[in-house]
Amino acid sequence: MKSNLHKAASKIILIFISALLLACVTYGIVYYLYYHYNEELTVRLTGDVIVINDLISTMYLVKTDKGYIAIDTGFDKAIVTRGLEYNRIKPEEVNAILITHSDKDHQNVGDLFSKADVYFPKKENEMIEQGIPRFRFLPFIKNSNYFKKYSLVSDNDSFIIDNRKIKCISLTGHTLGSMGYIIDEKYLFIGDAFRIKDGKIALPNRKFLAMDIGQMKKSIERVAKLKGIKYIFSAHSGFTADFAFAVSN
């Protein structure tokens, strides 16, 4: 009996020490990035598209005639704030946020942009309201909508933000309501709909993160048929400026 208790106590202590070490490492990375921010973590990809990478997720900012549109918000507030400062952008200059899906690393810093109008995928919101688990093997993990005020958007919806034309394109698979956004008929922001590998669009390495691989394949096929797109921007695997090459397979 004592032996079992001793083993259980040792296991709990080991878990605690591991969690503490992980927290210290994470804090150290965040601290270093905050005070040593450089061009490698935030770049201007085009004349009007800026990337801020907090090493967990990537958010994009598209310049408008009145401010900026954010595609997702990133995960770490300190690093995102530093990225904004580096680019001399104030949070209140972000007039709109386009959320691709509800995973935490894509909407965690939303409260930083208190003046922004938020656009959230309708199917994704339905998934949340129905309490559908994010992972089949971890049924207790369920996503949330972090925003109190938002407008729901659906596939093929089109609208104008400042001087920019936005079109919504359903790219389900990673989550049940994942949404892509086409800006001015040339910029495609995909979130985690698929990855970009060697300049080509492809399925992710970690397929277990996708809720429906079959739907993800259909999303890739749909993107391959788009016309006029020049750039594809992803949340975790960079971007490509050669759409024709990206979909050539």
Q: Tell me what the pLDDT averaged over the chain comes to.
A: 91
Q: Which residue has the tokens 């409260």?
A: 111
Better-predicted residue by pLDDT, 163 or 10:
163
- Residue 241: predicted pLDDT: 95
* Percentage, residues of the chain above pLDDT 70: 91
Instruction: Indicate whether 147 and 27 sit together in one domain.
Output: no
Q: What is the domain count for the chain?
A: 2
Residues 90 and 162 in one domain: yes
Q: How far apart are CA 27 and CA 37, in angstroms?
A: 15
- Here the CATH number for the domain that contains residue 192 is 3.60.15.10
pLDDT digits (tens, 9 = 90+) for 120-156: 999 999 999 999 999 988 889 999 999 999 999 999 9
2 pLDDT exceeds 60? no
Residue type, 31: Y
According to the model, what pLDDT value does residue 66 have? 96
Instruction: Give 8's pLDDT tier (boundaries 50, 70, 90).
Output: low
Domain hosting 62: range is 43-246
Q: 206: which 2 tokens?
A: 């970690």
Assess whether pLDDT exceeds 60 at residue 92. yes
pLDDT at 159 over 60: yes
pLDDT computed for residue 34 by the predictor? 62
pLDDT at 186 over 70: yes
In terms of domains, do 67 and 135 share one? yes
Q: Which residue has the higher pLDDT, 13 or 89?
A: 89
How much of the chain, in percent, has pLDDT values that exceed 90? Answer: 73
Q: Are 24 and 103 contained in the same domain?
A: no
Clarify whether residues 53 and 81 are in a common domain: yes
Q: What is the pLDDT of residue 16?
A: 78
In this structure, the answer to whether residues 13 and 83 fall within a common structural domain is: no
Q: Is residue 155 located within the same domain as residue 218?
A: yes
- 121 and 197 fall within a common domain: yes
Residues 12 and 75 in one domain: no
pLDDT on residue 179: 98
φ, ψ of residue 198 in degrees (nearest 5): 55, 35
Residues 6+ apart with CB under 8 A from 146: 107, 108, 110, 111
Q: Are residues 24 and 117 in the same domain?
A: no
CA atoms of 211 and 15, how far apart (whole Å): 29
pLDDT grade, residue 37 (50/70/90)? low
Q: What SS3 class is residue 219?
A: helix
117 pLDDT band (50/70/90 cuts)? very high
**Where does the pLDDT of residue 237 fall: very low under 50, low under 70, confident under 90, or very high at 90 and above?**
very high
